[in-house]
Structure 1
Amino acid sequence: MKKIILGFMIVTNLLLANQEGDNKINNNMFPVIPGVEMPLIPLFPAIPNKGENVETNEVRQLEKTYTVMMESKVNVFVPLEVISDINLEATVIGDQELELPFEVELNRKPEKKNYYTLKYSQNILDMDGDGQNDTYIYSPPFINDKVVKDNYVKIYGGKISKEGTHKKDVYITVEVGGE
């Protein structure tokens, strides 16, 4: 395919170079068409002169520039986030009631007292799926430290009707809900 295109280009150039008569080729390698004038294309870019005489010795002034120093202050707020994962495992025998304490760690200490609370995706759970709520999650009403220690899960064994291993995922977030 390359050879065919190359051959076609060579034949076309030879035909154009050998033409006699009205369609002669000028120095710019463009065919001369009778009755049509070729535009003159300058070989250098035009100099803008705004219609003024170029030979005047007019001094052009640069625009004045200034350096401005500014100070900016940015208030970055990092929200409170729970950074600890909590896994609780317990064995309940019969009608036994268990209280399992756990701690929740935050990314920093809250800046306001009695302003933030822990929010659970579920705080009343039905672990075995029989329709009776058997597990409850309790936390203090407000977060005032980086580590919240007074949390516990209370399991009522008398309400659990199915034996076996039961697993639930509960997600913890921090909410604003202060006084």
Structure 2
Amino acid sequence: MTDARTRLIQLIRDEAVFHGDFTLTSGKKASYYIDLRKLSLDHRAAPLIGDVLLELVDEFAPVAAVGGLTMGADPLANAVMHRAVARDRELDAFVVRKEPKDHGRGRQVEGPDVAGKRVVVLEDTSTTGGSPLAAIEALEKVGAEVVAVCTIVDRATGAGERIEAAGYPYRYAIGLEDLGLEAV
């Protein structure tokens, strides 16, 4: 276990796991909620997130860019990009809108051109896999080669299986057992 992963697990346990009655994106009820946006935008956690996700992304090298569905993946992609650049590596970030813009250039994928390039889709927590699959659909429409989906926390609710059934490798850095939680 890397030092960055160990420190990130502790920050998530201390500051991003909330207990109570929650409804997840899937509509399922849960007795806890993992709010990684609270940490992905935190100066202490962002470098750790970048390091942890970069380690997963490196399994699929070479990769030209990382990103995912806005808004959850935006700070993740930036964290990974900055950690790569700090290591003297070229890695861009992109953002996938839920829908193409209805003005300007009408783009759905923002950032550098990803046509013909190997990319990895990022997500903060995976429940159903719907967000990464939506991002993949948009990326493939513009000609990107999606080589994997990498997430910080897997909720053990079938997202990985759904993504892999669609033909994409799925990796996660932290499981529920790392956080002392059980699947819903």
**TM score, norm. by length of structure 2:** 0.19
The structure with the largest alpha-carbon Rg is: 1
Normalization by structure 1: what TM-score?
A: 0.19
